[in-house]
């Protein structure tokens, strides 16, 4: 059902951002001083919500008559969701590291400059914001409640993993044909994003890679500054 066109940073968008931030930080700080058992239960609950949402997105692809390729969870935010869900279950840090940079970089950008055409109550609106809020909830729950964090070597590792995955995703886009645009490697988003400032495809990839790497370091910068100050 189409409704009014989505208004970037309009009242509805700002309300959704406020609700998302309240949930992300409210839940994370609420469990910060809880015992390990309650934190584990909360983490598993977030992980289950993430996985259930990913499954729902497969069905939504066909419900909303999207390209069938969209049913394949290969977008960066899909991988972020699986990574942070697995970390909350198994506590394997490499999955946290990937979700930290992919989630904060990708899901935050998605919430700030969403790739949606219509405002609420359009059927795509709520699943989009709900899913990306869940990713950031998982990441910040891990940071704030579980007191997890990446280090500089982790930035380098995630950059390496991301470049390898980018090559794989590029090939997957080619093999899957028209309708596959995972990681926006084939084309830029239809709506207003920072990628609008990049060259036209396929040359936008030449800018996307250094910008993404720089973004990872910017995300890590507050932790680097805190570490430097703590040593003085």
Question: Which pLDDT tens digit goes with each residue over 34-72?
Answer: 999 999 999 999 999 999 999 999 988 888 888 889 899
pLDDT of residue 221: 97
When pLDDT is cut at 50, 70 and 90, the band that residue 230 belongs to is confident
User: What are the pLDDT digits (tens) for 96-113?
Assistant: 999 999 999 999 999 998
When pLDDT is cut at 50, 70 and 90, the band that residue 128 belongs to is very high
Q: Which residue has the tokens 């309300």?
A: 15
* DSSP label of 31: T
Write out the two tokens for 7. Answer: 């208004």
Instruction: Look at residues 115, 140, 85 and name the one whose alpha carbon lies nearest to residue 8.
Output: 115
Q: Between residues 175 and 197, which one has the greater pLDDT? A: 175
Does the predicted model carry a pTM greater than 0.85? yes
Q: Which residue has the tokens 């934190």?
A: 39
How many residues would you count in the chain? 232
Query: Mean pLDDT across the stretch 25-40?
Result: 97
Instruction: Look at residues 163, 137, 156 and name the one whose alpha carbon lies nearest to residue 50.
Output: 137
Rounded to whole angstroms, how far apart are CA atoms 49 and 41? 12
> What one-character-per-residue DSSP string does 169-224 give?
HHHHHHHH-TT--GGG-SS--SS--GGGGSPSTTTHHHHHHHHHHHHHHHHHHHHH
């Amino acid at each position: 059902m189409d409704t009014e066109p989505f208004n970037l940073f309009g009242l509805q968008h700002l309300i959704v951002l406020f609700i998302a931030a309240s949930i992300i930080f409210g839940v994370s700080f609420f469990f910060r001083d809880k015992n390990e058992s309650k934190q584990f239960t909360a983490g598993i609950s977030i992980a289950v919500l993430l996985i259930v949402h990913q499954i729902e997105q497969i069905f939504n692809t066909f419900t909303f008559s999207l390209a069938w390729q969209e049913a394949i969870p290969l977008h960066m935010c899909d991988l972020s969701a699986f990574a942070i869900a697995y970390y909350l279950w198994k506590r394997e840090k490499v999955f946290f590291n990937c979700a930290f940079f992919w989630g904060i970089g990708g899901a935050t950008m998605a919430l700030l400059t969403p790739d949606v055409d219509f405002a609420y109550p359009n059927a795509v609106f709520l699943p989009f914001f709900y899913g990306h809020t869940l990713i950031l909830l998982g990441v910040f729950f891990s940071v704030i409640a579980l007191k997890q964090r990446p280090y500089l070597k982790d930035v380098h590792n995630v950059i390496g993993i991301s470049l390898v995955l980018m090559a794989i995703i590029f090939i997957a886009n080619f093999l899957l044909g028209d309708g596959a645009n995972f990681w926006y490697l084939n084309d830029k988003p239809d709506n207003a994003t920072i990628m609008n400032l990049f060259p036209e495809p396929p040359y936008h990839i030449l800018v996307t890679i250094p910008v993404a790497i720089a973004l990872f370091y910017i995300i890590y910068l507050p932790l680097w500054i805190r570490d430097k100050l703590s040593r003085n």
